[in-house]
Amino acid sequence: MNMKTKHITLSALLAVLLFISSYFRIPLGFIPPITLQTFFVILIGLVLKPKYAFISTSASLIFQILFQGILSSPQFGFAAGFIVASTTLAILVNLSKKSWYTYLCVMIASLLIYAVGIPYFVLLASNPQIFAANSAIEMLVKILHILMLPYLIGDAIKAILAIIVAKRMHILLHH
């Protein structure tokens, strides 16, 4: 099997896994549920070339729009952030092979998910009063406390696992 066929096959497989992972969720009430999606987004960014990372996460988003109606959901921003994060990660991670740099790139990708997802979530929130505050700083702190803080430990664990799996996949794919 040539490399292009491997990339296309792996892109399709990872797109489907990312889509399927959206069905396995731990609901947290009015905030986005915990899923394995960030694991697969990071894995996609670490394993695929930028073009294929973009295609893979875009395909998954299209599946979510078609089969889950996510477009009108506050979670759509996070799903759109997956495209930005995986593609950016795929670009950045190839600039250096040092472990510390890989971890830095993964952190940047994770922050990009929040940077795209949080504003969209706040914009479409069914109860915007939960974000009410006396100042812009207070509102920002409240938003980050509600939409980012609960996920950081889980995201860190998923990121580390994705890095480990990506290293194993690179060994398997290049032999």
**Residue 74: per-residue pLDDT:** 86
Q: What is the mean pLDDT of residues 74-92?
A: 97
Q: What is the mean pLDDT of residues 117-144?
A: 86
Instruction: Note the pTM of the prediction, 2 decimals.
Output: 0.92
Judged against a pLDDT cut of 90, whether residue 130 lies above it is answered with no
Residue-averaged pLDDT of the chain:
92
* CATH number given to 3-173: 1.10.1760.20
What angle, rounded to 10 degrees, do the helices at 136-147 and 99-124 form?
A: 110
Better-predicted residue by pLDDT, 135 or 111: 111
Judged against a pLDDT cut of 90, whether residue 125 lies above it is answered with no
91 band by pLDDT with thresholds 50, 70 and 90: very high
Nearest in space to 55 (alpha carbons), one of 99, 15, 98: 15
How many Cβ atoms are within 10 Å of 76's Cβ, its own excluded?
21
Q: Measured between alpha carbons, how far is 36 from 24 in angstroms, rounded to an integer? A: 7
Nearest in space to 91 (alpha carbons), one of 58, 44, 59: 44
Judged against a pLDDT cut of 70, whether residue 175 lies above it is answered with no
* Cβ(98)–Cβ(132) below 8 Å: no
Q: What is the mean pLDDT of residues 88-97?
A: 94
**Residue 174: per-residue pLDDT:** 76
Q: What is the mean pLDDT of residues 114-133?
A: 85
* Cβ(75)–Cβ(65) below 8 Å: no
Judged against a pLDDT cut of 90, whether residue 126 lies above it is answered with no
Judged against a pLDDT cut of 80, whether residue 34 lies above it is answered with yes
